[in-house]
Every structure is written in C-alpha cells, then in structure tokens.
Homo-oligomer: A and B are copies of this chain.
Amino acid sequence: MLYLVGLGLSYKSDITVRGLEAVRKCSRVYLEHYTSVLMAASQEDLESFYGKPVILADRELVESGSDKILTNADKEDVAFLVVGDPLGATTHTDLVLRAKRQNIAVEIVHNASIMNAVGSCGLQLYQFGQTISMVFFTENWRPDSWYDKIMENRKIGLHTLVLLDIKVKEQSIENLARGRPIFEPPRYMSVSQCCEQLLEIEEKRGTKAYTPDTPAVAVSRLGSASQHFKAGTIKELSQYDAGEPLHSLVILGRQCHELELEYLLEFADDREKLRADVLADQEYFKPAPWVPPAEEEDSD
C-alpha cells in the first residue's frame, strides 16, 4: 500500500490520528521536501515522533525516481508525506497514477492545506477564484501570466490566493555546471517582495487588474503559533515586514461582504483607511447599475 499522507501546516502533531497510525506501520517513509516545509518541526522531530527514519524526497527523486519510492509497495506499506494536503496546492497525482499502473493500492489521508486554511483570514473560501503562484523574478525571467488570472478573478469580484515561491536545495549555475553538489541556503519569498513584483507588472501592463491601492491580506506562518495577518493596500504591504516565512497573500475581490470586512478590520493598522480603501476598490469592475427597461409604449 502507498499512503499519501498530508501533514497539515506547522506542527508534527498536525498529522491526523489516522495518518500517524499509517506512518507508524510503514517500512519506508518519504517526506516531499521541495514544494513546502513544515514550519515548526524538523526532520529529526518527525523521526522521533514516528519512531523511524524519514527520507527527504527532493524534486528529482519524486519526478524521476518514483520507481524507487514505489519499490515493493505492492507487498509492504510505504508512506509519502506531503506538507498540507497530498493533493492540494501541489500535484502528486502523477505518483498516484504510476502506482495504480503498477497495481499498487493507494490511500490518501487528507489534511488542511493553505488552500482551505486561508479561510482563517476572514475571507470566505466560497468567494475565491483561481489560485496563482508567484515565482522569484530573475534578471531575465519575469513571468507574468498570472496577471491575466488576477484580472479574470477580479472582473467577477473574486479573491485571489497568491502562493509564494520557495527555493529549497537549489544549486548556483556555477555549481550546477561543475557538477558540485553544493546547495544554496533555502529562500522563501516574502509578502513585500511579492507585492513589489505585483506593482512592477501592473506598471508594465497598465490595464488595472489591480492598483497599488487594491486591498490585500498578508498571511504569515498560517497554522503556527506565530500566525499573523495584516490587511492593507498592495503598496502598503510592499513595505511591510511579515517576519519569518512562510508567507502568502490574498488580493481582495469586489465581493467583500460586511462580515468579511469586519473581520479584516481587526488586522488593519488604520481601520478607517482600510474601510475606505475597500470601498474605493469595489468601484473597479462594478457591474453597471440596473436600469428599468424603457417602456415600449409610452402611456403618457
């Protein structure tokens, strides 16, 4: 049996009871270690909690070496651990398909992921549109196809969850070229950097998918003891220090209801300013006001 087990967001104890029971009976335990990290637990913490070794699985192992992960999984139990939900923010459907083709039974143990836990910022999950990913811009690579997706979401009034890039086990071009297994320290995109990239692309495109004054929510360390939310405009958040990783961002849509706003105001430096910013931003993409149809025959 291959168990795909979600670990939730932060603590070793965020695993479900059922997930823990599965892990404890597995002969091999892999931890997917390139799309996210568990904020409040190290590999050693997990090993002592599970009572067995945990093998870190980088992108190469998962994408090219999945046969290694699946070895003997038809006869013994193997666990593949994923931060968040196993089929949530990241796709591991490919691993499931490969297992099925080898007639290996698969069991999914779900858990919270950023995709649903972000509801704790007070915005309704019902009102979110498609999710986008923001990668670190480099000198020559500044992809902005997400801009159109924000536009599409905002045109119909929906909020946009922005997932921020992380770089774990990256090599410098020099080390890569020379085949030296030396890795750069991990990097995690901050809310402020994300907002700067948003502003840069809006300035370049100029079609007002959002503006510097569009309200957004900085989400930091969601699900951990130091979880924090800050509501402000994109411009304000581009200068905001959200502290330690991991960060995410939510860009508001027009459909921000009174109860959502009331909740958000708790996270604002200046409540009245945020209220005014939300109201002003709601003017964008506002449907034309309803006008009664002209009467075909004038009764006067």
Where the two chains meet, the residues of A that have a C-beta atom closer than 8 Å to any C-beta of B are 6, 8-9, 11-18, 20-21, 85, 87-89, 91, 93-94, 96-97, 100, 108, 110-113, 115-117, 119-120, 122, 124-133, 152-153, 156, 158, 223, 259, 262-263, 266
Contacts and interface: CB of A to CB of B under 8 A. Distances in A.
A84 to B, nearest CB: 8
Nearest to A89: B125
Q: How many copies does the complex hold?
A: 2
Contacts of A131: 125-126
A156 B253 CA distance: 16
Given A15-B17, A16-B111, A128 B130 contact: yes
Given A88-B119, A111-B111, A156-B152, A94 B128 contact: no
Sort A-B residue pairs by CB-CB distance and give the 4 closest, nearest first. Answer: A110-B112, A87-B119, A13-B18, A13-B17
Contact of A259 (B14, B16, B91, B128): B91
Contacts of A88: 116, 119, 125
Contact of A14 (B16, B85, B89): B16
B97 A112 contact: no
A87 B18 contact: no
Nearest to A253: B130
Nearest to A161: B126
Given A17-B17, A110-B112, A259 B152 contact: no
